């Protein structure tokens, strides 16, 4: 029997996600101890038994998930996703399938449970990241695999390894996450490559199990693709394991994303705050809060979400610079979140001075660069304008009647006043109510 995609049911389950628009990604695990990024085991070709020794040190006494979620809420985020298991195979949850977990480390804690409890208490939607690959498990392909730490070491031959046994293990762990922790809003798989795609993961069986245990959950597209590639929903030939949303990584798509028939796709750009997902002590190349605010606006203006990452350190703390950036973003969101939450593309041409977002009859004008003279409201019919207000304080912005734009009668212009400096140099937002 062929799979039948239910568009109506899909639209219902994805609605909260497209309204939320802004989420927190948290990459955290043993790799926070060497502090050279989440791929350190692969990049430095560290054998599994040597790397596993880090689990005997893992005791992040300063970890307070409630504080993490307070930071997310302060930034104006609506959801959060935690790495339950990354590629190294170390689990932040209690698993009957392995001893390689935080519960059996000196920490003795189930961090997935703590995270989900804290997220729900903070009013956030909560999801879990789960790596499909596993460099710790003996049955996952070693020699010759593109990513495995022992990929170049013939001593780690694949002879005797049983991939089916690994899949049983992986499916059992996903079942534990779906059965033991209450309602999950997102399951964020990572990632498919080479021949390991779709049914190579027994993906149909996996998704059937997940949806039976977690009705309404949304699942990303990485059972089919990695950060590159869009998946079968984009091709208008959805498989039973199609993703509910596309996951461009470390890039905002140059345009919005559309399926093969030209209809908009649901997507989420996952973005690092510096240049690593996991904690890297030497990486101080942080994106500024103004840049991230503008990139969030860009995502929304193109119909997408932003999932912004923080990599906590080995003590269980967010890096201080990361927290500062979250609170800087939050100060802007506190005044301007109406232009983000529940918003999407405007259907109008992009203005030269910034971006448009829209929700219903509200057009949000994001001004990144002031103009000389009154501000042209590209694509907006003057007769349809009911009011213009600064979003931050609801103060009126008059429609300009100046002679200087008399040569452009087809455009409406907003009069921002005599000060050439914008009230908010990051992004001054106007709300235009349309008739």
**Residue 36 β-bridge partners:** 280
Token pair for residue 154? 């013939």
Question: What number of other Cβ atoms are within 10 A of residue 61's Cβ?
Answer: 10
| pLDDT in the model for residue 84 | 99
For 409, half-sphere exposure in the C-beta direction (CA atoms, 13 angstrom radius) is 0
| pLDDT in the model for residue 135 | 98
Q: For the residues 85-100, what does the mean pLDDT come to?
A: 98
Closest residue by Cα to residue 38 from 288, 314, 324? 314
pLDDT, tens only, 300-318: 999 999 999 999 999 999 9
pLDDT, tens only, 159-214: 999 999 999 999 999 999 999 999 999 999 999 999 999 999 999 999 999 999 99
Please provide residue 204's backbone torsions phi and psi, each rounded to the nearest 5 degrees: -60, -45
**CB–CB of 21/305 below 8 Å?**
yes
Question: What's the rounded Cα separation, in Å, for the pair 313 and 33?
Answer: 7
| pLDDT in the model for residue 221 | 98
pLDDT, tens only, 36-57: 999 999 999 999 999 999 999 9
- Residue tagged 């559309």 (tokens): 258
pLDDT, tens only, 118-156: 999 999 999 999 999 999 999 999 999 999 999 999 999
Calculate the average pLDDT of the chain: 97
Look at residue 428 and give its three-state secondary structure. strand
pLDDT, tens only, 324-361: 999 999 999 999 999 999 999 999 999 999 999 999 99
| pLDDT in the model for residue 79 | 98
Q: Helices 203-213 and 163-180 sit at what angle, rounded to 10 degrees? A: 10
The percent of residues in the chain predicted with pLDDT above 70, rounded, is 100
Residue 3 pLDDT grade (very low, low, confident, very high; cuts 50, 70, 90):
confident
Structural domains present in the chain: 7-339 (3.20.20.80), 354-434 (2.60.40.1180)
Burial of 435 from C-beta contacts in 10 A (0-12 / 13-18 / 19+):
exposed
> Given a cut of 90, is residue 1 above it in pLDDT?
no
**Cα–chain center distance at 154:** 37
| pLDDT in the model for residue 65 | 98
Token pair for residue 357? 């977002």
Q: For the residues 227-249, what does the mean pLDDT come to?
A: 96
| Whether this model's pTM surpasses 0.75 | yes
**CB–CB of 156/141 below 8 Å?**
no
Please list the alpha-helical segments (H only) found in 55-201: 65-74, 111-121, 163-180
For 141, half-sphere exposure in the C-beta direction (CA atoms, 13 angstrom radius) is 13
Closest residue by Cα to residue 89 from 57, 50, 53, 130? 130
- Residue tagged 């596309």 (tokens): 246
């Amino acid at each position: 029997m062929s799979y039948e995609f239910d568009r109506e049911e899909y639209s219902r389950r994805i609605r909260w996600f497209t309204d939320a628009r802004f989420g927190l990604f948290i990459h955290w695990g043993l790799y926070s101890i060497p502090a050279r990024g989440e791929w350190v085991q692969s990049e430095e070709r560290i054998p599994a038994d040597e790397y596993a020794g880090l689990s005997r040190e893992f005791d992040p006494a300063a970890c307070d998930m409630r504080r993490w979620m307070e930071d997310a809420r302060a930034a104006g985020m609506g959801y959060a996703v935690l790495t339950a298991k990354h590629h190294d195979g170390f689990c932040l949850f209690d698993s009957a399938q392995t001893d390689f977990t935080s519960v059996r480390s000196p920490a003795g804690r189930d961090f997935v449970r703590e995270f989900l409890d804290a997220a729900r208490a903070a009013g956030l939607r909560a999801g879990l990241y789960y790596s499909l690959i596993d460099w710790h498990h003996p049955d996952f392909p070693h020699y010759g695999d593109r990513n495995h730490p022992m990929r170049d070491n013939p001593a780690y031959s694949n002879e005797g390894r049983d991939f089916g046994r690994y899949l049983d293990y992986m499916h059992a762990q996903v079942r534990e996450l779906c059965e033991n922790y209450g309602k999950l809003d997102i399951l964020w798989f990572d990632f498919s490559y080479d021949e390991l795609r779709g049914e190579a993961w027994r993906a149909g069986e996996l998704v059937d199990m997940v949806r039976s245990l977690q009705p309404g959950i949304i699942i990303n597209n990485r059972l089919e693709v990695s950060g590159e590639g869009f998946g079968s929903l984009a091709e208008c030939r959805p498989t039973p394991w199609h993703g509910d949303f596309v996951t461009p990584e470390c890039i905002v798509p140059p345009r919005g994303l559309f399926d093969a028939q030209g209809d908009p796709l649901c997507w989420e750009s996952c973005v690092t705050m510096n240049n690593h997902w996991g904690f890297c002590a030497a990486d101080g190349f942080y994106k500024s809060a103004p840049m991230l605010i503008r990139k969030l606006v860009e995502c929304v203006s193109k119909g997408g979400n932003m999932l912004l990452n923080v990599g906590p350190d080995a003590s269980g703390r967010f890096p201080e610079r990361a927290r500062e950036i979250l609170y800087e973003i939050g100060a802007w969101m506190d005044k301007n979140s109406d232009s983000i939450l529940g918003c999407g593309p405007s259907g109008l041409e992009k203005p030269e001075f910034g971006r448009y977002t829209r929700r219903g009859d509200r057009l949000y004008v994001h001004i990144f660069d002031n103009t000389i003279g009154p501000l042209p409201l590209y694509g907006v019919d003057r007769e349809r304008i009911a009011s213009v207000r600064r979003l931050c304080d609801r103060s009126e912005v008059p429609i300009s009647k100046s002679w200087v734009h008399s040569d452009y009668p087809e455009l409406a212009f907003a009069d921002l006043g005599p000060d050439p400096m914008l009230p908010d140099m990051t992004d001054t937002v106007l709300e235009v109510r349309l008739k």
